[in-house]
Amino acid sequence: MFDSTALLPSNNWPYTEILTRLALGLVLGLLIGLERERRGKEAGLRTFGFVGLLGTVGGALGPAYGLAAIGFTALLAVVLNVSSLRSGQGTELTTSAAMGVTVMAGIMCGLGHTISPAAVMVIAAALLAWKERLAGFSMGISEGEIRSALLLAILAIVIYPALPEGAVGPWNLIEPRAAWVTVILIAGIGFFNYVLWKIYGTRGAELSSFFGGLINSNFTVIGLAQRVREVGEPFVGVAYRGVLLATAAMLARNATLLLLLAPIALAGAFTAFALMLGVSGALLLWSLRQRPAGGVPPQIELELPFSLPQALKYGAIFLLLHVVGGLTQRQFGDLGFYFVSVIGGLLSSASAVAAAAALATQGSISPATAGTGAVLASFTSIAFSLVFVWGTHRPALMRGLALAMLAIGVAGIAGVLASHWAEPWVVQLLQAVEQQRRP
């Protein structure tokens, strides 16, 4: 006699585990259903709760039942669209897509995943909730902006993978991919700056300067200098604060790298980084206070998100510096770690700081030498950024930033001297803390 129960799954789950999976699937379904309910859709809170549970049960029972859950959800979507068309309200494509995403997330919950389905559903809820904002943003995109976005994608996705890996040339001094990353970063930071400016106005340019400084402060300064040449005087104040924010972000990033990679090396540089960050913050606050209270923000018109010729030009400059730095290091060997740190700061202060931390961890150099090298690399990056500001031909901006960077540099030198004086006590304290942490 045929036993129909043999077709059913016979898995035994721990009660707490399966209950947790069902609860997560239900909550994620309700998250989407709440948004749909607030918009007055026919498929709302309860429907999406059931779809989330359905997917979770299907994923837990096995592949066949997961496919059945997907099929049943597709049938629900068909019925929903037919009902909507009959009532003259048009199709419910967005709600149908949301139901499909919900059942798939439920299946992931049934399989035991937690973070992944939660992330998917949060993104889906954001897409539904930001309907008006996304629609307004898309309607405001010009043809030139679309071309710039496609060009940036070609630079990163098409050209970069086609370049040869590693160093090439007779002396292995040229790294095509590393040079092209420079072009991508300059173009990408410019594009990010443009998007934030379009959303938030001049505040967006200042915000993007800080985030750009976390990646590469010199590239961020290049973008700001380019905007000054395009816009003129209205952008000078924004550029001044943007350069200070990029510098502060660079200093914070370098200090954090030392803390993570070689904490004991930070003993010889902590005071320097703290004083430089303090001076940067004070100058930024002073600039903000100088703005007229209740004044009308400057009218700034940016034509394109970024300039490819400018990105290629500065990419060639950084490639040249890379080659010169490599030749110099080969010629002089290990003549001085500080000299190498200065050269490294021209290319990437983050790389120079990471290299210093690695050498200190290996015992090749003392922690104090590594900390001082990190500060020197930061000094070089600060001084190098002024070269790009010089090309704006704005005396007030050049004079203001030169004085600001001089003040930051003096604070750093004072910090280095103070750190060397207090280094023995700080090292003992760090060693004591490290011993307490060991089991």
pLDDT tens, position by position, 343-402: 777 767 777 777 777 777 767 667 777 788 888 889 988 888 888 888 778 888 899 999
Q: How far is CA 394 from its chain centroid? A: 31
Q: Are 90 and 84 in contact (CB under 8 A)?
A: yes
| DSSP single-letter state for residue 141 | -
* pLDDT score of 6 more than 80: no
pLDDT at 1: 45
End-to-end CA distance of the chain: 65
Q: Which residues pair with 400 in a beta bridge?
A: none
Beta-carbon-side half-sphere exposure of residue 119 (alpha carbons within 13 Å)? 4
Q: What is the mean pLDDT of the chain?
A: 79
pLDDT at 352: 75
Whole-angstrom Cα distance, residue 33 to residue 48?
A: 5
Cα R_g (the chain), whole angstroms: 29
Mean pLDDT lowest among 171-175, 289-293, 322-326: 322-326
DSSP labels for 315-340?
HHHHHHHHHHHHHHHHHHTTS-HHHH
Q: Residue 182's CB: how many other CB atoms inside 10 A? A: 23
Q: Which two tokens stand for residue 273?
A: 């980084």
pLDDT at 2: 47
| DSSP single-letter state for residue 174 | B
Whole-angstrom Cα distance, residue 204 to residue 235?
A: 13
pLDDT band at 433 (very low <50, low <70, confident <90, very high): low
User: Above pLDDT 70, what percent of the chain?
Assistant: 75
Beta-carbon-side half-sphere exposure of residue 230 (alpha carbons within 13 Å)? 18
pLDDT at 231: 77
* pLDDT score of 141 more than 80: no
pLDDT at 254: 85
User: Above pLDDT 90, what percent of the chain?
Assistant: 24
Q: Give the list of residues 6+ apart from residue 337 with CB closer than 8 angstroms, or none.
A: 356, 359, 365, 369, 373
- Looking at 262-307, list the stretches that DSSP marks H as alpha helix, in order from N- to C-terminal side: 270-290
Q: What is the mean pLDDT of residues 68-85?
A: 92
Q: Which two tokens stand for residue 119?
A: 């992330």
Boundaries of every domain in the chain: 9-136, 142-291+298-437
| DSSP single-letter state for residue 7 | G
The pTM of the whole model exceeds 0.75: no
| DSSP single-letter state for residue 168 | B
Q: Which two tokens stand for residue 244?
A: 């200070």
Q: Residue 163's CB: how many other CB atoms inside 10 A? A: 14
Instruction: With H, G, I as helix, E, B as strand and everything else as coil, classify residue 439.
Output: coil
pLDDT at 9: 60
Nearest Cα neighbor of 266 from 150, 400, 374, 166 is 374
Whole-angstrom Cα distance, residue 144 to residue 305?
A: 9
pLDDT at 186: 67
pLDDT band at 281 (very low <50, low <70, confident <90, very high): very high
Helix, strand, coil tally for the chain in percent (to 5): 80, 0, 20
pLDDT band at 208 (very low <50, low <70, confident <90, very high): confident
Beta-carbon-side half-sphere exposure of residue 90 (alpha carbons within 13 Å)? 5
Mean pLDDT lowest among 2-11, 46-55, 315-324, 423-432: 2-11
pLDDT at 295: 45
Q: Give the list of residues 6+ apart from residue 347 with CB closer than 8 angstroms, or none.
A: 318, 321, 322, 325
Task: Please say whether the dihedral angle defined by the alpha carbons of residues 304, 305, 308 and 310, taken in this order, is positive or negative.
Answer: positive
Length of the chain: 439
Query: Which one is predicted more confidently, 204 or 37?
Result: 37
pLDDT band at 318 (very low <50, low <70, confident <90, very high): low
